[in-house]
Chains A and B, each alone.
Chain A
Amino acid sequence: MASKYDLTPRIAPNLDRHLVFPLLEFLQERGLYHEEDILKAKIELLNHTNMVDYAMDIHKSLYHSDDVPQDMIDRRAEVVGRLKALEDGAAPLIGFLQNPNAVQELRADKQYNLQMLNDRYQIGPEQIDALYDYAKFQFECGNYSGAADYLYQYRALCTNNDKSLSALWGKLAAEVLMQNWDIALEELNRLKEIIDSKNFSSPLNQVQSRIWLMHWSLFIFFNHDNGRTQIIDLFNQDKYLNAIQTNAPHLLRYLATAFIVNKRRRPQFKEFIKVIQQEQYSHEDPITEFLACIYVNYDFDGAQKKMRECEEVILNDPFLGKRIEEGNFTTVPLRDEFLENARLFIFETYCRIHQRIDMGVLADKLNLNYEEAERWIVNLIRTSKVEAKIDSKLGTIVMEPNYTNVYEQLIDHTKALSARTYKIVHQLLENAPGQTAR
């Protein structure tokens, strides 16, 4: 049941092999699946990487034996051999890069650098490519920090756009795996710029890149301090939202969560509700359904049910269910935040269409007991988020009728007009310089 909403199978294809490990680790911890299955999946993953030692360990723990299949041993020998070869290939350049004096000679001009390397150190394009291969290999072996360094340097030297792009992806993956969120975020933005600006060979390719980018970014956004705002900034862009709708509707879960947790994004939120409504058919997810219940169907009982499901989902999601250990407590900060905000959403909408509400019913709807609910509401009233009074004799909340002043409305309507007109005139003048002379 709990695995019904597990997105790992849908997310994994859009990630790098190495990035799937953290997800599997998480799943293993949660115990949603059989341990054996997960271990098998891990071996499967590792089979195509160079982390053969790790694969051997897993194999041992999976079958409780010390025997390792012959092909793994063979592969290990092969990997080691190849590592040597690549290392030799890249040795001249690495030697150069490790010499701080020599590195200082590099300048911002790539052409100059290449020329200089070629003339003075006999380091040609082959060696530079070798560096790339070596970095890739290092990454495959699980040596992410090494890979990240080499890739960074490679990018400084490389002139091939495609390879440079792959190097950037590699760098991002390495940073994510090392959990350097700040640097990863920088890389992410760099990558995003390239994807958005570059004239991709095909639109399809571009969409695919965007989808990858979004998947990879999940690691960053749900770990970075400022991530929840940024995820909205990224995902809610038209181009990215379209990509989500087209190819990866499951990502709506994360965007929805970010919206719920983030209070300051109301204008975009309305648009987002429409997207959710439209995508209902293609993806079933408690979190989006929760929003649909409140804002599309006004079904508060349903919303309340969904809220419970949401809690479950959040706990089982590798990105959302991140836990923090405080002393001997483990808390899932996002869950608490989510529930608090979700309650607020229900309450807000509920209040908008009611003028009198029974406290008992409300408490029920909010998944709180009577006292808690009263306290909660009093808090809201005090912080003037709600204009209401509690009638404690009848046990009801009475809403203050809230009409917008007619004059306010009129002003609202017309406020933007002058700015728009001004802009238009401005543009008109700009576009027709000849006529301004008159």
Chain B
Amino acid sequence: MASRFWTQGDSDTEEEESDYDEQEDNAAVETTTATAASRYYSGNASDSDDSDGQKRVVRRVKDKRFDELSATVDQMKNAMKINDWVSLQESFEKINKQLGKVMRVTESDKPPNLYIKALVMLEDFLNQALANKEAKKKMSSSNAKALNSMKQKLKKNNKLYEDMINQCREKPELFEEKVEEEQEPEDDDDDEEDEDVDFDEDPENLEAEESDDEDETGNDAETGSGWEKMLSKKDKMMDRQFKDPSQITWDTVNKKFKEIVAARGKKGTGKMELVEQLTFLTRVAKTPAQKLEILFSVVSAQFDVNPSLSGHMPINVWKQCVQNMLAILDILTQYSNIVVDDMVEPDENETQKGADFSGTIMIWGNLVAFLEKVDVEYFKSLQVIDPHTREYVERLKDEPVFLVLAQNVQEYLEKVGDTKGASKVALKRVELVYYKPQEVYDAMRKLAEQDSGDAESGEEKVQEIRGPTAFVATPELVPRKPTFPDNSRALIDILVSLIYKYGDERTKARAMLCDIYHHAIFDEFSTSRDLLLMSHLQDNVQHMDISTQILFNRAMSQLGLCAFRAGLVLEAHSCLSELYSAGRVKELLAQGVSQSRYHEKTPEQERLERRRQMPYHMHINLELLEAVHLICAMLLEVPNMAANVHDAKRKVISKNFRRLLEMSERQTFTGPPENVRDHVMAATRALRQGDFDKAFAVIKSLDVWRLLRNKDSVLEMLKAKIKEEALRTYLFTYSSAYDSLSLDHLSKMFDLSDAETRSIVSKMMINEELHASWDQPTGCIVFHDVEHTRLQALAFHLTEKLTVLAETNERAMEARFGGGGMEGLPHRRKDGQDYAGAAASGGGAGRWQEFSFNQNRQGSSGGRGGYTISGRASAPGLASSGFSRDRQARSGRAYQTGSGARGGQSDGSTRMVNLNRGVRT
């Protein structure tokens, strides 16, 4: 830390000092000196002593010694604060050495008061430390050792100065004053010294003066926080070269600029150094256009700072880069005749045209690309930083900064009429906001407001401490403060509608997915489902790039969660089942890498995958997701299994769930549930017995529920669902054992109201799941016995298989000759388009194939769980015939889109088919 400032102070002060001597009356230089001085204050107060001492060495040895002494005292004070005896001991030895030097210089036999005071202080502190036995025990061994040796040394040492110490103890004020007095008479050199001392003592004063100066000079927005520390020799040369403002011409700057740019990328050119030099050049640029051109180079040089693809740009460089971008925008806003384009090869001397030039000036550059790069770097930094550290949180706080930039760039582009670019930038903004629930959004908004409040004062200081005045001063024109609408929905709506209007396909698709995601977070299931279906994203997401597929998966899972919260179990299940079918959820959501036993990944693949990861704060909670998926599967599968006891294999709703259930059943002993899976399995066991209370209790004990905003209502809903399914399961399982069953009894058994029970049972009757009817006067369910004989049952199987055969034929035909030829068929089904694979992003093409093939087979057996496209079941025979057939037709109908829309691309009607088609009516 200190060394950085040492070097910095070194070069600058030396130079300025000499300048000072040479041109005492040069006002401009005086400012720079002052500026330089002020930097120490804003930079690092504790270190300022060091550098100040450094400054005086030129003039007086004695002062230097004194300063060294006081610096050591300060060090001792610091060490005391943290109770660090080891360093205290070192400092003590140092101070004794220094004392000798001081005595020699002052040629007095009396030690300086400063030293005595330090001794007093030290002694007090030592006694205090010794008195505190407990703290002593806690000390580390080395620390304790140091303490002990210190005790002895101090005792010995203090004997020498005993009387003075006593004197000091008695009258501390005396010593206090004496220090000043002693020093002041010694300061017998020129007034400047005094001034310096004044500066030292009164930094506020200085700052006030300083800011006046700054207002006048209007320093360029190009700023430096601490990182411009490694000014090399070359730089100093440059400084000299450009020292005299009157000598700088456009040509010199341009020549230097070309020279530096040519050095870029060559061996031996330090990347940071390059940035430094360019940054300096921006200050001396003669025309706005030139400044702009150089700024563009600065930004791209800053992008170069980070060499590797996986690492991220240092954060301070990133911030600097954002500031530079803002400066670019400032210039562009101020001089609207400057046009930025990356297609033109601008004239050599284009930038020579000054601020008063009225024609258009072409500058090479691409704001959108720069902005995207800034975004990528931000994203990467979040990927790399450990999310559990403070650093991560700090980094997250930079988000408003980026949003400001994006907002400004977007506004500029809109003004210039580059709507395509604007929509791209808008997408970047959407992507930063879409995953935020209202609370997080509000927090961000507050942070941004707060920040800019601080920035008013803070940022100014940081910005204006620069050295030479910029020749081209640009006021801060673009706002440095993001403006957010009250709720994120409003923001997204504005941005998204812009994108839909102007964006290209990919931008639109991504914006749509973000929109869907955001609607889902806000519990607007129907809206977000409609968006998904209308946009046909399911149809073509597998042709998109992987990051969009990941976004799609994220949107799907969020939609699933949303459906669950709304109590739509079937929909939730159809949204989520794809994600879980392959057991690669982490990979599909880019929330971690899942190990696969079956194939090794190459390092290349792994690296790619790592680059795709979502930053931690964007993660969707996997436990919650799994819980929701399994619970949905349970609610659907348990009654389904009860209804088809005889051939359970046939109608599988959730393969994944079945597999888990089998595994848990194979266990000899079932312990208490530990993870999400165990809980759901335990609940399943209870539910199959009809014990809804226990099932609910087990589910409720999951701690993922606290992640839900409306936890109570969701649990309430869940309880109702569990009861309902328990009732259904009970009826399926035991209906054969009853001749009649009273409504009252049933309601009491499942703790449901009469109306609910009646509704549920009626539904089952209508759907012919339950062969029974009500006896209204007595309020009983009377069961009919309509068991098929073995022969009849087999005959039914046969017909079903025949149907499947016919369907497969049709599909094969369709695959062979395309959909067009099949229009005449009474029963159109286009199962060929499965989105099973859509969710799987990581895999190669081969796996896709295999995947959808599986799905197809499953589809033909009736239990399609996926997003199959299929025609409306328009065949009259299908809708109302027998029981089994009917069920079959329904079970797989989630998420269909009609075949008509696919067949006729020319017919662009927004097509929307329900999710609900498969719901039990």
Contacts and interface: CB of A to CB of B under 8 A. Distances in A.
Contact of A357 (B765, B776, B817, B827): B776
A361 to B, nearest CB: 6
A383 interface: no
A206 B796 contact: no
A409 interface: yes
A416 B762 contact: no
Interface string B100-137: 00000000000000000000000000000000000000
Contact of A275 (B776, B874, B914): B914
A415 B881 CA distance: 11
Contacts of A435: none
A394 B825 CA distance: 53
Q: Which of B763, B776, B909 gathers most chain A CB within 10 Å?
A: B909
Contact of A267 (B879, B912, B919): B879
Given A361-B776, A409-B881, A246 B810 contact: no
Interface in B798-824: 799-800, 802-803, 806, 809-810, 813, 816-817, 821-822, 824
Interface in B512-557: 526, 530, 534
A199 B898 CA distance: 20
Given A207-B910, A246-B534, 18 more contacts: A196-B907, A204-B910, A242-B911, A246-B530, A246-B912, A275-B914, A295-B921, A301-B755, A352-B773, A354-B773, A356-B778, A357-B777, A358-B776, A404-B882, A414-B802, A420-B810, A421-B806, A424-B825
A207 to B, nearest CB: 6
Contact of B817 (A206, A413, A414, A431): A431
Contact of A427 (B806, B821, B911): B821
A396 interface: yes
A428 B909 contact: no
Contacts of B908: 200, 202-203, 206
Interface in A199-217: 199-200, 202-204, 206-207, 210
A311 B769 CA distance: 35
13 contacts: A196-B907, A203-B908, A207-B909, A274-B914, A352-B765, A352-B766, A403-B784, A403-B786, A406-B792, A414-B802, A416-B875, A420-B827, A424-B809
Contacts of A282: 526
A431 B821 CA distance: 9
Interface of B: 526, 530, 534, 755, 758-759, 762-763, 765-766, 773-778, 782, 784, 786, 788, 792, 795-796, 799-800, 802-803, 806, 809-810, 813, 816-817, 821-822, 824-827, 872-877, 879-882, 885, 898, 900, 906-917, 919, 921
Secondary structure type dominating chain A contacts: helix
A297 B759 contact: yes
Interface string A245-263: 1100000000000000000
A273 interface: yes
Contacts of A274: 914, 916-917, 919, 921
A243 B825 contact: no
Interface in A379-438: 394, 396, 399, 401, 403-404, 406, 409-410, 412-417, 419-421, 423-424, 427-428, 430-431
B914 A278 contact: yes
A153 interface: no
Interface of A: 196, 199-200, 202-204, 206-207, 210, 238-239, 242-243, 245-246, 267, 270-271, 273-275, 277-278, 281-282, 295-299, 301, 349, 352-358, 361, 394, 396, 399, 401, 403-404, 406, 409-410, 412-417, 419-421, 423-424, 427-428, 430-431
Given A406-B788, A416-B875, A298 B766 contact: yes
Contacts of A406: 788, 792, 795
Given A206-B908, A416-B826, A353 B882 contact: no
A238 B906 CA distance: 15
A186 B877 CA distance: 34
A354 B774 contact: yes
Contacts of B822: 427
A198 to B, nearest CB: 10
Contacts of B917: 274, 278
Nearest to B524: A281
A298 B763 contact: yes
Nearest to B795: A410
